[in-house]
Amino acid sequence: MYEAEFSAHLEKRFGEDLVTVDYRNYLHGDLPDLDVNPDGKIALIYGSGTIVMGGKNSNGLNDLITGAGMAADIRSAAEDESVKAIVLRIDSPGGSATASDIIWREVVAARAKKPVIASVSDVAASGGYYISMAADTIVAHPNSIVGSIGVFAGKFSTGKFFEKIGIATETLKRGRNADFFTSESRFSPEQRDILRGYIMETYNDFISKAGQGRGKTAEEIDRIARGRVWTGEQALGIGLVDVLGDFSEAIAIAKEKIGLSRDTLVPLEIYPHKRGLLERIRSGQLSLAEKQWEQTLNQLPLPLRKAVGAIPHFNPGEALYLAPVDFWNVSQAAF
């Protein structure tokens, strides 16, 4: 619809005496004059991308959620007395187990102070679900990808590859398992057993905390976990989400939680705060190496680009709450 057509549509619906407000005046308008609730606001915190360890300044950049960054945003909103409720807008296939747990802890702490609503966009899988599961209410689209409660860890074994291209490597170590995560050799049987125990310990922590958030036992969560993914509609039936709906529904629920009607206009405090180009340059967030890396990534298909782009941010052998790329691909194709 073009501007002239839109103006004609408004005049037909509301009459020729329709009064309009320039967006600049609207942005600087007095809240009571705009019928907006002046007594509080809702924090809208975006968690979009792969979850990695990292600081506050890089949160939200390059399709990454940093543990320290999103945790700081949640903490800030929880401590802000003018914020009456928090809405987490999640679109993530997961990532670092440690970073996910850091964010989860802040959600638990925030929930003790004010309502926290999780709104699932396309994907809340594995770590993406982990950071959502402690919310008071989880809202998802019927076709959202939800769940993938599972964990994996491992390493790339490149020793044979180096041999083929004529590169000789040598490992110097002190201690039987000092070379546990070296890429020059495969895991020994003993190391595989150690890694398996580490993975199961991390998985059991996942299902235990999911049970706490969902009001279920770890055993009940285990029966619907083990890496399986569900649509939002299926997740509703098994208790992984509470309500089917879109972002507007999540905001409406947040309003009801703080005693307002669904029709009340409430200002949104958005996190992470967007940084301008000059601010990013001053903070050193744009480097030549990053630009070259971005150019390389842009040559890949979008689903693969999102997964590969996070690889440099994972530590060797780090446990990952990360859904397979294929599921991310399905969500991108479907929506």
pLDDT at 213 over 50: yes
List, in order, residues 6 or more apart from 200 with CB less than 8 Å away: none
| pLDDT at residue number 326 | 47
Percent of the chain predicted with pLDDT > 90: 51
Local confidence band at 206 (pLDDT 50, 70, 90 cut-offs): very high
Tell me the pTM.
Answer: 0.77
- 217 or 298, which is more confident: 217
CATH number of 3-334: 3.90.226.10
Per-residue 3-state assignment (H helix, E strand, C coil) for 120-134: EEEEEECHHHHCCCC
pLDDT at 309 over 50: yes
Q: Which residues does residue 64 pair with via DSSP β-bridges, in sequence order?
A: 50
82, 116, 144, 153: which is closest to 319 by C-alpha? 153
Q: Which of 121, 126, 132, 331 is catalytic?
A: 126
- 269 or 314, which is more confident: 269
What mean pLDDT value characterizes the chain?
83
The amino acid sitting at 144 is S
- 12 or 219, which is more confident: 219
pLDDT at 249 over 60: yes
Average pLDDT over residues 216-241: 96
| pLDDT at residue number 37 | 63
DSSP code per residue over 98-120: HHHHHHHHHHHHHHTTS-EEEEE
Query: Is 188 an active-site residue?
Result: no
Local confidence band at 275 (pLDDT 50, 70, 90 cut-offs): low
CA–CA separation, 83 vs 81, rounded Å?
Answer: 5
| pLDDT at residue number 324 | 60
Burial of 251 (0-12, 13-18, 19+ CB in 10 A): buried
- 312 or 335, which is more confident: 312
The lowest-confidence range among 54-63, 136-145, 186-195, 208-217 is 54-63
38, 92, 42: which is closest to 64 by C-alpha? 92
List, in order, residues 6 or more apart from 281 with CB less than 8 Å away: none
Burial of 238 (0-12, 13-18, 19+ CB in 10 A): middle
Residue-level length of the chain = 335
319, 279, 324: which is closest to 306 by C-alpha? 324
pLDDT at 19 over 50: yes
Domain range summary for the chain, segments of one domain joined by + = 3-334
